[in-house]
A and B are shown apart, each in its own frame.
Chain A
């Protein structure tokens, strides 16, 4: 059996008296789309922040492709192949979409101690940016300033920036948050297209999307993983039903 791309071992994180991450152990093999679901306040974003490196866990280890990244800063993990999209859109509003994504590509194309040459004329960076934007369906909006784009387009740029860093592991924190139904359908199609090409950890509230996309699902309640398994197994799990999924939403997911 091959080594899983992401190994989480005994991860713990406390904020004062609140246990946000309670002894989580999880192996995610290469190419899997692993969804993390759970009620609000279950610690999903806290978990992603530890995987991305913004938060340091109190205990436990995180291994990416066999390398212990537990105490590595965010930027170094990015260079090792972890990319994150943010739940609340986090872009450079005064730059164009292409500038935003090219900057992500630039971070992974050698150092940036170049003081003279116009970075916007570096065709390699611009092409990478354009390819990533086209991938998420934003190719024709590349030269619009981000502050003038819609929320849905911001969500797409979030993904494009993550892709431009050529990641091995994609951490997607509610990519469909706040999207209208047609935009959500577009995002679902995009995530389906990204599946298998990348190892993906997906946090999402849209149960239809989660059950349609995920290879495996982990259910997080009060910082603890109460169940991990294939969508059918999760749907059938009585503990999960009691703790989180209402009968109706399970039925709804079954229809999808």
Chain B
């Protein structure tokens, strides 16, 4: 595998370098704001990467993918609440339960296609959301505070910000590599073939349903891991983690960064969350000399600026940011 100096590869290298060096900046400046922001970005990038596996490569547009963030998070939160704080127990369980939910949701939804698939994944995810709302023992609507982060017998100290950040980064990069291996394996070619032309896949002898289902479960498990990280990061779980708007955010990250590119979702997550943080600030600052006080009020409506940007990407850059930088016709 060679990595020529294309604009796309340079962007990816720059993003990785930024992510790796960020804690150094924090240590030097003493300002932890960016470390916190980027920890969150890494976790959501991990979730978006798992969505990209089924959406970008498998053509399965799940509008309920955040449900596994919630299930992974609740796995951690409930166990912590019940007094089990060992990460060696919490994390595998969170991932396993996410995978089981994905198995059930996938088994039902993968019998449908197109809009129906989107609607069924959305509906099932909302059912789980309302189940979370009704869990009165675990805070119902208000959620649940986690008093103690997962314990790894002193091997990894999650309460150390920098350690936590690098753990998230390592898991993200490891997952991106895993997805890259996966999509070029036999399994991956079946998934991609089924996206391209499922009828033909069946006619050459592939029982496509079971491959798509396994892919759906793998994505759910990875997103469950992201949920476990998120719960530990915020020290808090609530049904809002798996609200359908969160699923929408994940789709936006994937589309913005570039569907069907292994690093696309990471780029998309960085772009979306950095824009969310900086747009209100920029509108206020840049607008002030022109419009005075009203610019500050306009800053509250920063989504008016973000919306058209996403629209432009969706209309004119099918491959997202990463796709823009890849010359067409090359793989």
Contacts and interface: CB of A to CB of B under 8 A. Distances in A.
A118 B184 contact: yes
Interface string A34-56: 00000000000000000010100
B174 interface: no
Contacts, number: 93
A164 B29 CA distance: 62
Interface stretch (B122-130, B205-213, B232-240, B276-284): B205-213
B11 interface: no
**What is the size category of the interface that chain B forms with chain A?**
20 to 34
A232 interface: no
B297 interface: no
A92 B204 contact: no
A221 interface: no
B164 interface: no
Interface in A102-150: 103-104, 106-108, 112-120, 122
Contact of A75 (B184, B187, B197, B206): B206
What bracket does the count of chain A residues touching chain B fall in? 35 or more
5 contacts: A75-B202, A103-B201, A116-B182, A117-B185, A119-B185
Contacts of B285: none
Contact of A119 (B189, B202, B204, B207): B189
Interface in A239-254: none
B203 interface: yes
A76 B214 CA distance: 19
Given A91-B197, A116-B185, A119-B185, A165 B190 contact: no
Interface string B77-119: 0000000000000000000000000000000000000000000
B189 A106 contact: yes
Contacts of B193: 92, 95, 103
A115 B181 contact: yes
B186 interface: yes
Nearest to A113: B187
Interface of B: 181-182, 184-190, 192-193, 196-197, 199-208, 211, 214
A187 interface: no
A163 to B, nearest CB: 11
B185 A118 contact: yes
Given A99-B189, A115-B182, A90 B199 contact: yes
A78 B193 CA distance: 16
Nearest to B1: A118
A90 B202 CA distance: 12
Contacts of A93: 196
A91 B181 CA distance: 24
A113 B214 contact: yes
B202 A73 contact: yes
Contacts of A119: 184-186, 188-189
A112 B205 CA distance: 11
Contacts of A114: 185-187
A95 B202 contact: no
Given A78-B203, A112-B211, A165-B205, A90 B186 contact: no
A156 to B, nearest CB: 16
Contacts of A76: 207
Nearest to A162: B204
Interface centre among B193, B200, B203, B207 (most CB of A within 10 A): B203
B261 to A, nearest CB: 13
A161 interface: yes
Contacts of B184: 118-120
